[in-house]
């Protein structure tokens, strides 16, 4: 018996649903969000009589519907009419003179008004990554030697990073290209930025000092510290009280240096057990400190309070809009992991967000906002970034990240 193939389409035709490569639809669809814009890209289809590509979009729980149409020569599309914090789903369809293709595989994304800069502070990495709002898409990356800090200046829309082994600070455009390079006299283990006063502060390891620099790299002041600076020391700038805060993990010390006070400019706080990250309070000044025995708050008058003292706190992050303190830590008695927040407007009432279902969380960055807010967090051993929204639902995951990270918001 002779069997004839009566299909009017060659199997090599990209529009043929049985084509093993295309499945009869546009391929290579990728999607990125950059603040209030979503960019869609796809591979060009080499077919005769191609007239256009149709863009289908669905928001929230709605199925994608026809949203726009672009010319046959287009391979990308920018959607600027997005709704932040909502799921956006897109598919593409090719249109010829005689027919329409199958729909491409759908891609989803959640846009928002910020991006994350993520500096890998491990000894063996040095990667700087720019991550989308939903924590699921990489907007760009660049490799350096060994990073110790990242900060973002909203006035100039540039990022600053500190590179320990290069003994340099770099100012970067949002496309990761270097705008400025500042050579330092020693290795910077941390950095802080005063965007209003256009000052940079670097904590230098071999010189046991803090240098105050202009954005052009001019040295204004060198502050000698009565301690040995190591890679585990951290630095923060408190713009409310015009102070620098320095933590020393190995010596269980915290220092406050008053920049505009010629008398009693350096104050030492002892007994802060194994201080890690240190974050200025955005409303009242003072600082919050992640320690091995809870979260320590030192206010402007020098008073000290301790919260969650049964937790070995790995990291903290302050919500710049309402002052809530987000934390990740491990219970020293039960070895259970915990992620939560201290609610400032409710007298530091503690709200547990995640439990032991998400262990080994180490570095956290909250998204500013009123009420409960989402956050980005690293998970050790899984080499992951996890993104949770304001309802504590996981909305994004990326792999290939170490646990010890520094974050900045763009």
Count CA within 13 A, CB hemisphere, residue 186: 17
Pair 327, 310: CB distance under 8 Å: no
Q: What is the pLDDT of residue 373?
A: 95
Q: How many Cβ atoms sit within 10 Å of the Cβ of residue 273? A: 15
What residues does CATH 2.60.40.10 cover in the chain? 30-109
Domain 30-109 has CATH 2.60.40.10: yes
pLDDT digits (tens, 9 = 90+) for 209-243: 999 999 999 999 999 999 999 999 999 999 999 99
Q: Is the pLDDT of residue 332 over 60?
A: yes
Q: What is the pLDDT of residue 24?
A: 87
pLDDT-derived band at 109, boundaries 50, 70, 90: very high
Tell me how far apart the alpha carbons of residues 136 and 280 are, in angstroms, rounded to a whole number.
29
Element (H, E) at 235: strand 234-238
In the predicted model, what is the mean pLDDT of residues 2-25? 70
Average model confidence (pLDDT) across the chain: 94
In the predicted model, what is the mean pLDDT of residues 180-207? 97
Separation in Å, CA 90 to CA 26, 31, 64, 83, 238? 12, 9, 6, 14, 44
Domain 116-409 has CATH 2.40.420.20: no
Q: Is the pLDDT of residue 1 over 90?
A: no
Q: Is the pLDDT of residue 4 over 70?
A: no
In the predicted model, what is the mean pLDDT of residues 121-135? 91
Look up residue 391 and give its two tokens.
């309802």
Q: What is the pLDDT of residue 35?
A: 86
Is the full-model pTM beyond 0.85? yes
What residues does CATH 2.130.10.10 cover in the chain? 116-409
Q: What is the pLDDT of residue 11?
A: 59
Q: What is the pLDDT of residue 5?
A: 47
């Amino acid at each position: 018996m002779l069997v004839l193939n009566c299909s009017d389409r060659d199997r090599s035709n990209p529009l043929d649903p049985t084509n093993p490569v295309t499945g009869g639809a546009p391929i290579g669809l990728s999607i990125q969000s950059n603040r209030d814009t979503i960019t869609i890209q796809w591979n060009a289809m080499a077919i005769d009589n191609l007239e256009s590509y149709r863009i289908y979009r669905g928001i929230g729980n709605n199925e994608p519907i026809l949203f726009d149409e672009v010319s046959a020569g287009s391979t990308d599309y920018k959607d600027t009419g997005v709704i932040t914090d909502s799921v956006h789903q897109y598919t593409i369809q090719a249109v010829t003179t005689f027919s329409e293709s199958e729909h491409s595989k759908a891609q989803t994304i959640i846009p928002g008004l910020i991006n994350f800069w993520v500096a890998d502070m491990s000894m063996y990495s040095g990667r700087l990554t720019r991550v989308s709002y939903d924590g699921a898409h990489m907007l760009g990356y660049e490799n350096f030697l060994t990073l110790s800090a990242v900060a973002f200046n909203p006035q100039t829309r540039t990022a600053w990073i500190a590179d320990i082994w290069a003994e340099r600070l770099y100012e970067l455009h949002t496309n990761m290209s270097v705008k400025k390079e500042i050579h330092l006299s020693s290795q910077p283990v941390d950095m802080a930025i005063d965007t209003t006063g256009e000052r940079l502060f670097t904590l230098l390891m071999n010189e046991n000092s803090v240098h105050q620099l202009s954005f052009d790299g001019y040295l204004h002041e060198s502050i000698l510290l009565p301690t040995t600076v190591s890679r585990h020391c951290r630095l923060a700038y408190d713009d409310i009280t015009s102070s620098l805060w320095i933590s020393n993990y190995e010596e269980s010390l915290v220092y406050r240096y008053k920049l505009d006070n010629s008398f009693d400019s350096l104050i030492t706080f002892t007994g802060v057990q194994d201080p890690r990250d240190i974050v200025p309070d955005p409303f009242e000044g003072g600082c919050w400190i992640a320690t091995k025995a809870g979260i320590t708050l030192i206010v402007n008058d020098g008073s000290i309070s301790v919260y969650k003292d049964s937790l070995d706190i790995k990291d903290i992050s302050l919500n710049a809009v309402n002052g809530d303190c987000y934390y990740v830590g491990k219970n020293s008695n039960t070895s259970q992991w915990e992620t939560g927040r201290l609610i400032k407007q409710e007298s530091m009432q503690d709200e547990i967000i995640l439990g032991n279902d998400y262990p080994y969380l180490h570095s956290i960055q909250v998204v500013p906002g009123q009420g409960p807010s989402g956050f980005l967090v690293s998970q050790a051993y899984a080499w992951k970034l996890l993104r949770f929204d304001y309802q504590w639902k996981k909305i994004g995951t990326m792999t290939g990240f170490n646990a010890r990270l520094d974050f900045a918001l763009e």
